[in-house]
Amino acid sequence: MFYFDEEKKYPKKTESRVKVRFQDCDPLQHLNNAKYFDYYFNARDDQVPKLYNVEMADIFKAYKAAWVVYNHQISYLKPAMIGEWVRIFSGLVWYNNDTIVVEYYMGDDQNTHLKNIMWSTLKFINVKNGKRLDHTNEILKFLKATCYDSIDFPTMSFQDRIKQVKEKF
């Protein structure tokens, strides 16, 4: 069951360490472009329940609603190579009454090179009729508690964010 604990301090960013698998690579031994999505979504799916004690199935059951992908912005900067260990980070960068934007990025294991960055925009929808649904007050409180404080998303371009994240590496 989804429950927002107002006393808890929620981390803003998730992190996973993952090995780039042979079956996910192209003939040049680079991680296939489409596989970045799998790596990102799997990493977040592993981390959110651990850090936030939230399963997406709980949201579905409690509200008969789910977030569905509206669009992606993605930039491939350096290839992730077969057998390489990488670090995947994710976090909420923006939300409003019915939408969230999740940022994902991947770096090498030593956090010296940014390999990829993606923003995914998701809409909260009623699963019975497919129409947009406003977030509940409890979900809005949760989103506020887990959203990055340091990103001025409405005024920041994707390219500006790439530069900002690169500076951290």
Q: What is the helix (H) or strand (E) element at residue 62, kind and residue range? A: helix 56-63
Residue 1 has pLDDT above 90, yes or no: no
Options 3.40.50.1000, 3.40.50.970, 3.10.129.10, 3.90.1300.10; CATH of 14-161: 3.10.129.10
Residue 22 per-residue DSSP state = G
Most confident of 4-13, 57-66, 154-163: 154-163
pLDDT by residue (tens digit) across 127-149?
Answer: 999 999 999 999 999 999 999 98
What average pLDDT does range 19-46 have in this prediction?
A: 97
Give me the pLDDT at residue 150, please: 86
Q: Which residue has the tokens 């500076």?
A: 167
Give me the pLDDT at residue 5, please: 85
User: What is the distance between the alpha carbons of residues 54 and 152, in angstroms, rounded to a whole number?
Assistant: 26
Residue 28 has pLDDT above 90, yes or no: yes
Tokens at residue 76, please? Answer: 């491939």
- Please give the distance of CA 126 from its chain centroid, rounded to a whole number: 21
Average pLDDT for the chain: 95
Give me the pLDDT at residue 83, please: 98
Tokens at residue 32, please? Answer: 């296939």
* pTM of this structure: 0.93
* CB atoms closer than 10 angstroms to residue 68: 12
**Greater model confidence, 78 or 62:** 78
Give me the pLDDT at residue 24, please: 98
* CB atoms closer than 10 angstroms to residue 64: 13
Give me the pLDDT at residue 79, please: 97
Give me the pLDDT at residue 161, please: 96
User: What is the distance between the alpha carbons of residues 29 and 83, in angstroms, rounded to a whole number?
Assistant: 9
In this structure, are residues 112 and 169 in contact, taking their beta carbons and an 8 Å threshold? yes
In this structure, are residues 25 and 91 in contact, taking their beta carbons and an 8 Å threshold? no
What average pLDDT does range 112-123 have in this prediction?
A: 98
Residues 6+ apart with CB under 8 A from 75: 116, 117, 118, 158, 162
Give me the pLDDT at residue 4, please: 82
